[in-house]
């Protein structure tokens, strides 16, 4: 854990535009983000895993390492993740390239990417994720805002619905977890 924090802080200082969280996420947030993964089938993708606090919990939920793919843009985080989780696929590429991974029928995307306030990124990240997701797939997003990180208009454009899974008050700042699903007609 101390090594994770040292790496995180070092990268935050070296690449402040990339490392936008103020601290690695707490284990309580990781548990809330990964709730229910025990019942998900198909591949699981984590975008923006950073130092792996959600990754550790995804595996603890029983997701086989071979089913898990991490998309991380920071090469030093990628090296650390490969060393820490040797049987997990770690790709040094942005979340916008999820369809280029070759994965299909993804059961869940766990997102630690806190930049979903911008509509273009929502289309590129969330829209593309749902293009390769199973019909009942879920996109789980952390935010520090009380409102869903994707507004109603963008949810309608992308054909999504969302519910708030919960708030983790023990996190600094308090974290909210929202889950997005496709609207089934």
Least confident of 58-62, 120-124, 173-177: 120-124
Edge-to-edge order in the sheet of strand 175-182: 89-91, 68-71, 44-47, 106-111, 133-143, 175-182, 160-168
Nearest of 132, 113, 108, 127 to residue 41 by alpha carbon: 108
Per-residue pLDDT band for 20 (boundaries 50, 70, 90) equals very low
Model confidence over 114-143: pLDDT tens digits?
A: 656 677 888 899 999 999 999 999 999 999
Report strand pairing: 106-111 vs 175-182. Answer: unpaired
pLDDT of residue 75: 95
Helix (H, G, I), strand (E, B) or coil at 23: coil
Strand partners, 138: 108
Which pTM does this prediction carry? Answer: 0.85
Token couple for 104: 């299909």
CATH topology of domain 25-182: Rossmann fold (3.40.50)
Report the distance separating Cα 40 and Cα 44, nearest Å: 8
């Amino acid at each position: 854990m101390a090594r994770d924090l040292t790496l995180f802080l070092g990268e935050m200082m070296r690449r402040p535009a990339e490392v936008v969280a103020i601290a690695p996420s707490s284990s309580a947030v990781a548990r809330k983000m990964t709730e229910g993964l025990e019942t998900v089938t198909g591949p699981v993708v984590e975008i923006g895993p950073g130092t792996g606090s959600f990754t550790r919990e995804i595996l603890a939920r029983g997701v086989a390492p071979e089913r898990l793919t991490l998309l991380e843009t920071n090469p030093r985080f990628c090296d650390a993740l490969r060393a820490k989780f040797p049987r997990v696929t770690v790709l040094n590429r942005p979340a916008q390239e999820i369809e280029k991974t070759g994965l299909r029928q993804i059961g869940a995307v766990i997102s630690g990417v806190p930049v979903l306030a911008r509509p273009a990124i929502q289309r590129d990240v969330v829209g593309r994720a749902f293009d390769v997701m199973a019909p009942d797939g879920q996109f789980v997003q952390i935010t520090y805002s009380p409102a869903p990180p994707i507004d109603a208009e963008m949810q309608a454009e992308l054909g999504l619905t969302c519910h708030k899974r919960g708030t983790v008050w023990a996190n600094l700042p308090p974290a909210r977890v929202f889950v997005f699903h496709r609207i089934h007609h």
